[in-house]
Amino acid sequence: MAGTWTQIALVLAIVLEVVATTFLQKSDGMTKPVPVIILTLCYAAAFYFLSIPMRSLPMGVVYAIWSGLGIVLISLIGFAVLGQRLDLPAMIGLALIIAGVLIINLFSKSVVH
């Protein structure tokens, strides 16, 4: 992947999106003010940090990494924190998402190594 700041920004974008989505769950349909404020700030910051790698990397690659890892992390939080269970097809799908992100990062010429 491109420079260190690009990598850090993408990681921050992913983490902030995961925090925001977790608070979206906690907002009870956007009826609880504190979770709504937190999720709004986290989503805004996530999009800011997401814009940084888009300066030097293809939009589709950045979005694939951001959304893919976000999906996997949210699923893990749902399992570990909220007790949400996934069936075998869901777990296979998540494994394929991880494989796709790895293939992009390890082999794609669209991502500068």
The 10s digit of each residue's pLDDT in 4-17 is: 999 999 999 999 99
Rg (CA), the chain: 15
Whole-number Å distance between alpha carbons of 104 and 55:
18
Q: How far is CA 13 from the centre of its chain?
A: 7
pLDDT digits (tens, 9 = 90+) for 15-66: 999 999 999 999 999 999 999 999 999 999 999 999 999 999 999 999 999 9
pLDDT for residue 67 is more than 50: yes
CA atoms within 13 A on the CB side of 10: 25
The model carries a pTM of: 0.88
